[in-house]
């Protein structure tokens, strides 16, 4: 596949690594999101980050992670990722809309989003996203959350330090500000 197989409909957003477009596949009219990354002036480490995103997306199949269709290099200078199109926008737009309307998001709605973000199950596969934020939480028309933009994610190969399994304990009760109970 190549760019010739897609019709660009409009720009969805621009980030530090690339630009995302809504596009239509010419062969069947299906709608996708297309991330285009100009790699011609990138350092090797930055190209590595872009390739990590492809590896991660291609290896994860979960209802709360943006589905990956394919990737290709166009004319040796542009890395192109074709992804499922999340037709509900992103969580940042939901938050901004609520802010402008001067209304709070209800607790049930916040839990609805939070549970799906956590359910993306990246840590169970030794993947650290490293950029979880509302702009990287995409929504379907039904309100389902899908984690995306994994270009700075890392795959932890050897977790001897236990970073992927760290638990935080509840501290012992104290009296006042001076430390543990003295009774």
CA 16 to chain centre: 14
Q: CB of 145 within 8 A of CB of 116?
A: yes
Binding positions are 35
Pick out the residues of the known binding site for ATP: 35
Record the tokens describing residue 27, joined without a space: 């062969």
Catalytic residue among 131, 149, 159, 181: 131
| Distant-in-sequence, close-in-space partners of 136: CB < 8 Å, separation ≥ 6 | 90, 129, 147, 148, 149
Exposure b/e, 63-94, CB count within 10 A at least 16 = b: ebbbbbbebeeeeeeebbbbbbbbebebbeeb
CB of 35 closer than 8 Å to CB of 86: no
Let me know if 159 is a catalytic residue: no
Instruction: Give the closest residue to 71 by CA, choosing from 150, 129, 15.
Output: 150
Catalytic residue list: 131
């Amino acid at each position: 596949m190549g760019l010739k197989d897609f019709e660009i409909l409009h720009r969805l957003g621009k980030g530090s690594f690339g630009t995302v477009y809504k596009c239509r596949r010419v062969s069947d009219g299906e709608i996708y999101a297309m991330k285009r990354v100009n790699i011609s002036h990138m350092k090797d480490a930055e190209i590595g980050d872009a390739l990590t995103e492809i590896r991660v997306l291609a290896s994860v199949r979960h209802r709360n992670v943006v589905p990956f269709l394919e990737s290709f290099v166009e004319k040796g200078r542009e890395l192109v990722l074709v992804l499922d199109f999340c037709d509900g926008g992103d969580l940042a737009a939901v938050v901004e809309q609520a802010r402008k309307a001067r209304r709070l998001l209800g607790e049930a709605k916040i839990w609805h989003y939070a549970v799906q973000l956590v359910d993306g199950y990246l840590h169970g596969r030794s993947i650290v996203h490293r950029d979880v934020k509302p702009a990287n939480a995409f929504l379907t028309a039904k309100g389902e959350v899908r984690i995306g933009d994994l270009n700075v994610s890392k795959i932890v190969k050897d977790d001897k330090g236990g970073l992927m399994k760290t638990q935080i304990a509840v501290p012992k009760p104290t009296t006042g500000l001076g430390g543990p109970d003295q009774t």
